């Protein structure tokens, strides 16, 4: 069967397009990114893009879905690990940082951009559920951890906001290049959660 190779080639070309799209999206945002430029950067003609994707928004969503699937794949084993809530929580953030640092352009895009474009279309996108699921898992860990006195005795939602924001700030803020190691994240979290 040639069908396998054909499918693989098709997928490879899609990946090339997504790669080009990412660099343009990152630089210009969703609306600022022009199809013509994405085509130019990925090295295809404009019409060819539409041979592989049916619209600009589909490219956008495919990119995010790709990132979330990859992130989630890496997280699953950590979640199943059966550590204490606090250890699992910290391990998850470390793992996320690791994944992020392995492909910053993609994940900066993934964690920043969607906040700015909350059209109804996007609300229903497939990748959205993974975002929601991640939030829920982290929240449940905090709830369980509070019971065991491993987190500050406060409203779990607040604790998640605070620690999530802290993580976000550590990993994503600042002049590009300087990435924060997973160990530093662990140290910071342990430091700040110490007294409880």
Partner DNA sequence: CTATTATTCGACCGTTCGTTCGAATAATCG
Partner DNA sequence: CGATTATTCGAACGAACGGTCGAATAATAG
Interface pattern 1-20 for DNA (x via CB under 7 A): -x--xx--xx--x-------
> CB of residue 42 vs DNA: minimum separation in angstroms?
9
Shortest CB 159 distance to a second copy, Å: 9
Residue 186 Cβ vs a second copy, minimum distance, rounded to whole Å: 13
Instruction: Return the one option of a second copy, DNA, none that residue 195 interacts with (CB less than 5 to 8 A, by type).
Output: a second copy
Given its phi and psi angles, is residue 149 left (phi above 0), alpha (psi -120 to 50 degrees) or beta?
A: left
Distance CA 158, CA 64 (A): 27
Query: H-helix or E-strand containing 195?
Result: none
User: What contacts 78, CB < 8 A, 6 or more positions away?
Assistant: 88, 91, 92, 95
Query: Restricting to residues 41-70, which ones interact with DNA according to CB under 7 A?
Result: 44-48, 50-52, 54-57
Cβ-based nearer residue to DNA, 39 or 100: 39
Smallest separation, CB 154 to a second copy (Å)? 7
Is residue 154 near a second copy by the rule CB under 8 A?
Answer: yes
Q: Which is nearer to a second copy, 69 or 154 (CB)?
A: 154
Contacts (Cβ under 8 Å, ≥6 apart) of 75? 92, 95, 96, 134
Residues 23-62, interacting with a second copy (CB under 8 A): 29, 31-32
Cα 100 from Cα 105, distance rounded (Å): 8
Contact 97, 180 (CB under 8 A): yes
Q: From CA 4, how far away is CA 1, in angstroms rounded?
A: 7
**In the complex, what is the shortest distance from the CB of residue 124 to DNA, in angstroms, rounded to a whole number?**
16
- Tokens for 182, please give them: 């997973």
Greatest Cα pair distance in the chain: 63
Which residues in this chain contact a second copy in the complex, by CB under 8 A? 29, 31-32, 112-113, 115-117, 119, 152, 154, 157-158, 161-170, 173-174, 180, 184, 187-188, 191-196
Which residues in this chain contact DNA in the complex, by CB under 7 A? 2, 5-6, 9-10, 13, 33-36, 44-48, 50-52, 54-57
């Amino acid at each position: 069967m040639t069908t396998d190779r054909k499918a693989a080639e098709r997928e490879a070309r899609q990946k090339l397009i997504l790669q080009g799209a990412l660099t343009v999206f990152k630089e210009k945002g969703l609306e600022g990114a022009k199809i013509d430029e994405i085509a130019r950067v990925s090295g295809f003609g404009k019409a060819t893009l539409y041979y592989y994707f049916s619209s600009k928004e589909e490219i956008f969503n495919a990119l995010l879905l790709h990132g979330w699937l990859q992130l989630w794949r890496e997280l699953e084993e950590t979640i199943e690990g059966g550590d204490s809530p606090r250890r699992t929580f910290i391990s998850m953030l470390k793992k996320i940082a690791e994944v992020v640092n392995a492909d910053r352009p993609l994940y900066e895009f993934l964690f920043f951009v969607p906040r700015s474009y909350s059209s109804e279309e996007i609300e229903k996108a497939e990748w959205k559920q993974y975002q929601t699921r991640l939030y829920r898992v982290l929240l449940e860990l905090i709830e369980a951890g509070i019971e065991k006195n491993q987190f500050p005795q406060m409203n779990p939602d607040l604790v998640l906001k605070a620690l999530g924001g802290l993580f976000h700030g550590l990993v994503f803020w600042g002049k590009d290049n300087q990435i924060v190691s997973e160990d530093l994240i662990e140290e910071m979290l342990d430091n700040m959660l110490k007294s409880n």
